[in-house]
Structure 1
């Protein structure tokens, strides 16, 4: 999930950088050439493909097979444990039965000897021995029935856990396939439809909410994007992407102070948003706003000219 999120973030960063470079109007030809050179350097330094859907699918299939193998191994191990418990119970009951039988024979022999010497109460002795043996056997049977009942409950719990993990794996696979589809879509409306499907499967997915807010902002709906970001922050108050999208939405509404405040919070969560903010077309109009200049550490043009 994290690797896929990093992949999608890189794709989004590249797309936003490309859109920003195409949308902005450079003040001079020298700035345009410098920007193109920076973009070319970033492309030249890529050391791996940005999109490998077949590898993602292979990893997901391997993960699913590994989970199935582990579940089967757990079931087999539990069955072995149950077999050993049952075998132990059988041996214990056999041992108790043999012990009582030998004890009965011993009592019978002693009783016979007592009868021979004049005791005639052998029937009473036999009944007492039989009752004692019955009570002992019943107690042993009850103990092992309780143990077997406990083992059955454990097996049922393990089975429910395995079923839950299997459902979770299938849900994760479906969500991953939707994320891959969203990465291939070109229009914001198509992306929003896919993000809605992800949120139907997982209503607390903060990433889907923030990426949907980004797509909504591309459609010119900043208030909608703000509501989505606030929903994401209610689920995860440390979500940096939600703060960044809030900054873009407020900048679109020309609420410069709120935009800089949310951007500062996003940078507090991850300094990586600094480069993205400098190239994002949604924040382009903030480049002349003094608090933004101070936050980003931009050197004013006048000072740079004097230094030159």
Structure 2
């Protein structure tokens, strides 16, 4: 608009210039309050130190609960209570997913409301702009201006450019909102699938615990591995069941696969030791048993009761590893400082 007025100053008389200046002052006093209202924005809420301390305390409590759960030696609840807890967990996850969807809808509604207010502001601005043009055109007609057609064409061109710019801006904002909604929807779907998979795997583990035969356990572990191919725990438990079928080579292969997934899997090292003991490869058996004990000394008590290591009781290296004192005169073995029978 300024460029248009500057182009016409050379062709207008002084009275006409004064009238144009008055109209421009009126337009600035009308539009300025609208810009001031649009610039106002609600303050961003700040997180207080008390809220930060409460959040840190909750995180510490969660860590302590997780450590206590990892130290459990036996199931904390019966299968019926576990079923109830799983149902409650499922309902809680469903409620959380519904809450996320509701929160997303509220955010979208607020953004659409803000966009609607901005479009209303743009419409009012354009309306005032046309009112100003109408007054200016009337002034030109009264003073005998004959080039109204040129002024009209320029005004339409400027108005079209302004409207096109506003439309492009709001289309881009709406496109961004649609992308955010799509990402959140995909995230919710992924979490729901993961919850269902976890529940199915947990049910299979419970079923494996109820199986009495090695063949039945192997079938259940195969179903778990079909759902989660990188489940090293399922591989090691399957190796244990395979050893009950006198298939040590198969068990060794399963344990090596588990170690490729998790190199610190103590149960996999223990099952390897048992498998090599079945094959009477005593050095390899003792080596893998040593690695299992380095990860968890709890395997020492299990190894003392495992019949797979009966052939190693005459080995000094095995006796030293297990803390067994050898009586060379009688050829018998006894426990060391932990207590003799």
TM-score by length of 2: 0.73
Give the superposition deviation at 1:100: 1.3
Aligned equivalents of 1:299, 1:119: Cα separation in 2: 120
Superposed, which structure 2 residues align to 1:106-255 within 5 Å? 106-255=132-281
- 1:118 deviates by 2.6
Instruction: State the partner residue of 1:268.
Output: 294
Deviations 1:67-126 (A, max 9, x none): 111111111111111111111111111111111110221122123213322322223223
TM-score (norm 1): 0.80
- How far off its partner does 1:6 sit? 7.9
1:89 aligned residue = 115
Q: Unaligned stretches of 5+ in structure 1?
A: 11-48
For 1:178 and 1:5, the matched residues in 2 are separated by: 20
Contact 1:108-1:126 at 8 Å conserved across structures: no
Number of residue pairs the alignment of both structures matches: 268
Which protein has the bigger helix share? 1
Higher relative contact order (CA 8 A, sep 6+): 1
In the aligned structure 1, how far is the partner of 2:113 from the partner of 2:232? 52
Query: In structure 2, how many angstroms separate the alpha carbons of the residues matched to 1:62 and 1:161?
Result: 22
Given candidates 92, 117, 124, the residue that maps to 1:66 is 92
- Alignment gaps of 5+ in structure 2: 1-65
**Structure 2: distance between partners of 1:177 and 1:266:** 28
**Per-residue CA shift, 1:252-295, capped at 9, x if unaligned?**
11111101110111112222212211222222322221111112
- Note the C-alpha offset of 1:57: 1.2
Cα 1:82/1:51, change in 2 over 3 Å: closer
Segment of structure 1 superposing worse, 234-243 or 121-130: 121-130
Verify the 8 A CA contact 1:97 1:137 in the aligned structure 2.
Answer: no
Task: Measure, in 2, the Cα distance between the counterparts of 1:208 and 1:80.
Answer: 44
SS in 1 for 2:209: helix
Q: CA deviation at 1:195?
A: 0.8
CA distance in 2, matches of 1:51, 1:247: 32
Larger radius of gyration: 2
CA distance, structure 1, for counterparts of residue 93 and residue 76 of structure 2? 28
Relative distance call for 1:268 and 1:245 in structure 2 (3 A) is same
The superposition leaves residues 179-234 of structure 1 with CA deviations (integer Å, 9 ceiling, x where unpaired) of 11111111111111111111111111111110010011011111110011011111
